[in-house]
Amino acid sequence: MAGRAKGQMSLVSHLEELRRRLLVSVLAVATGAIACWFLYPQILDLLLAPYCSIRGAGVQSTVFGTGCELLVTDPLEPFTVRLTVSAYGGVAMAMPVLLWQVWRFVVPGLYSRERRWAIPFVLAGVLLFSAGCVLAFWSIPRALDFLVEIGGPDLVSVFSPAKYLGFVVKMTIAFGIGFQFPLVLVFLQVIGVVTPQALRRVRRYAIVGIVALVALLTPSGDPFTLMILSVPMWIFYEGAILFGVLRDRRRRRRGE
């Protein structure tokens, strides 16, 4: 038990540690946001890629414009859009630092054998977040196609930068957060909060909860996006159970 006792902190020390971790996180996000401000043209081209793809997929008659243009109706909108893209980009670029700060904050309350998960935790978090963003970009054109076509041919869609980019960013963040789901389940098992047996018992309720959470996280609300994110999260849930079973089996073999 010495591993946890050694890392115990007073309430004041814990609050001071929280302040330090938050400061580092804010500085990391700010640095990333500044970089994204200068990389805005390249980032904007990347964010417009899903919209441009549906323009060549047979929906030209129901989307305003002849190219990949977005309609600006507010003189301040270009500035606010650049600011928003830079802010969200800063969060994405700072994700490794943010995950590391989260881990370092909870480390004092862990046993020494649990602290060895630090680097795998951060690396897995970054990889899963990136995988979620990639899947989001793959699904966004299909979600847009569904949303544009469902109104019928008599409705012509006109996308503004703020609305469109907000949609893309929210979808990307939702998928990135959703892909952190297995990390949370694995971490809770590592620190002994839940067991694979408990996860098995609530499997049916968890599946319903996953679908409800995805419906809440994703802005499109279309059935395709709901399925695309719900299925990986359900697979992650089963994978977390498998992780717990294999971990318990290995611990029994070692006589722990």
This prediction has a pTM of 0.77
Q: How much is the pLDDT for 2?
A: 44
Closest Cα to residue 50, out of 179, 139, 125, 120? 139
Whether residue 35 lies inside any domain: the answer is: yes
Q: How confident is the model at residue 63 (pLDDT cuts 50, 70, 90)?
A: low
pLDDT: which is higher, 55 or 241: 241
- Whether the per-residue pLDDT at 222 is higher than 90: the answer is no
| Separation CA 255–CA 65 (nearest Å) | 69
Q: How much is the pLDDT for 39?
A: 94
pLDDT: which is higher, 23 or 190: 23
| Mean pLDDT confidence for 58-87 | 77
In the block, tokens 């802010």 appear at: 87
Sign of the alpha-carbon torsion through 73, 75, 81, 87: negative
pLDDT: which is higher, 106 or 56: 106
- pLDDT tens for residues 132-156? 999 998 988 888 888 878 777 777 7
- Whether the per-residue pLDDT at 1 is higher than 50: the answer is no
- pLDDT tens for residues 154-186? 777 778 888 888 888 888 888 988 898 888 898
| Mean pLDDT confidence for 218-242 | 87
**Domain encompassing residue 128:** 9-251
Domains in the chain, number: 1
| Separation CA 160–CA 69 (nearest Å) | 9
Report the mean per-residue pLDDT for the chain.
83
| Separation CA 70–CA 66 (nearest Å) | 10
Q: Which helix (H) or strand (E) holds 235?
A: helix 223-253
Whether residue 208 lies inside any domain: the answer is: yes
pLDDT exceeding 90 applies to what percent of the chain? 22
Q: How much is the pLDDT for 87?
A: 92
The beta strands (E) that lie in the chain are given as none
- Whether the per-residue pLDDT at 237 is higher than 80: the answer is yes
- Whether the per-residue pLDDT at 102 is higher than 50: the answer is yes
Q: How confident is the model at residue 29 (pLDDT cuts 50, 70, 90)?
A: very high
Candidate ranges 59-68, 106-115, 149-158, 232-241; pick with highest mean pLDDT: 232-241
pLDDT: which is higher, 49 or 152: 49
**What is 56-84 written as a DSSP string?**
TTT-GGGBSSSSS-----STTHHHHHHHH
Q: Which helix (H) or strand (E) holds 196?
A: helix 196-201
- Whether the per-residue pLDDT at 6 is higher than 60: the answer is no
Candidate ranges 21-35, 37-51, 149-163; pick with highest mean pLDDT: 21-35
- Whether the per-residue pLDDT at 31 is higher than 90: the answer is yes
Whether residue 71 lies inside any domain: the answer is: yes
| Residue 84 CA to its chain's centroid (Å) | 17
